Amino acid sequence: MYCKRYCSDARIVGARRRTTLASFLVMGQGLGMSLGPFAGGLLYKVGFGNALFNGFTSPAWVMAVVWCIFWVCVRLFYVDVPKDVYHSGQTTSSASKASGAFPSDSIMSEEKMTTPKTASTSSNAHTPKSKHSFLQKFHMSPSQWGVLACMCWFAMTCFFILGAWESNLPVFGASRPEFHWSPTAVGNFIALGGITAFPFLVLNVFLIRRIEDRVILATGSCLGLSSLLVFLSLLRTGKINYGSVFMCWWATALGLNIASVVPVSLLSKQLPPSWNSWLSLAIQYSMYTGRVLGAIWGGSGVKVGMMVYTGVEIAIVGIGMVMFLVLWDSLKAKKG
């Protein structure tokens, strides 16, 4: 959540840079999708004959070390937004210069975004606000509510389906006579889909500056929906093999990773900058909801039936596509 909030903070990031920075985050997300399953499968295969550090517990120990290293790097290199830089159009450029951490050239001049009339300025930043002013501050038009609901739905959808596939592939692969996958084999399969999609995520970083956010969302969701429809047809005809399942997984991973770039950056361009923390929280709750429910749904896919499992995912993406088609004009925002 904090990574997304930081990359969409109007005090340090211009409107034409936010989707680009979000695509860098998704690129790292795709890399983790490859390295995580591969390392987990490798550690399982090595085994380690120890009750504390073995094939099942070793990934958790490795990640604990990685997180410790990460927090050391955060302490050494991370620079937070100066407290005397406000969300209003009158940014304290002198404070930015003094901190030496953020550029003071036309970052905020790119925004031209409308802030609420009751937004606090430097003179009354610490003045207590009444309940009435609080409600005014977060007043939204019906179209803004629709855009927020659409972005939350897609944030949930992307992680629901990605989480469902990641938890379903081990169960599905072990149950099919064509595969009989071990944990190592399924880890390699998931990692292969992620690493082959990674070059396209890198390419996306450079192309995304020239494409509207709503077009990116439509492209990613259409690619994901197409892969699900193909997978459903494969299940129905019984033509399941390694190559066909791999192509469906690859297209699903690529399409929904691309679609997940948009929610936070688009909302940050359409709504006042001072709302960024709340918007990031709403999107992150949606992602967490999708991740948890997706993992449960994927694990139960074989039991409920793979066609039912895939059909539910198609319905969820379809609802999202209806939402963005209805709200297409309202989803227009600056490129980049």
Q: What is the pTM of this model?
A: 0.77
With cut-offs at 50, 70 and 90, classify the pLDDT of residue 4: confident
CA distance 53 to 86: 48
Domain boundaries, the chain: 16-78+141-331
The packing angle between helices 242-259 and 213-237, to 10°, is 160
List own/partner pairs for 194-200 with CB under 8 A and 24 or more apart: 194/30, 194/31, 194/33, 194/34, 194/37, 194/253, 195/34, 196/250, 197/30, 197/250, 197/253, 197/254, 197/257, 198/27, 198/30, 198/31, 198/34, 200/254
With cut-offs at 50, 70 and 90, classify the pLDDT of residue 117: very low
pLDDT, the chain, mean: 80
Considering the domain 16-78+141-331 in this protein, what is its CATH number?
Answer: 1.20.1250.20
Q: Match 């969701």 to its residue by tokens.
A: 221
Is 47:54 a contact under the CB 8 Å cutoff? yes
pLDDT recorded at residue 207: 85
CA distance 269 to 16: 9
pLDDT recorded at residue 113: 40
With cut-offs at 50, 70 and 90, classify the pLDDT of residue 230: very high
Whether the predicted pLDDT of 6 surpasses 60:
yes
pLDDT recorded at residue 125: 42
Whether the predicted pLDDT of 130 surpasses 50:
no
pLDDT in tens, 66-111: 999 999 998 898 877 776 665 554 333 333 333 344 443 333 444 4
pLDDT in tens, 237-264: 988 999 999 999 999 999 999 998 888 8
Whether the predicted pLDDT of 56 surpasses 90:
no
Range with the poorest average pLDDT among 12-26, 132-146, 265-279: 132-146
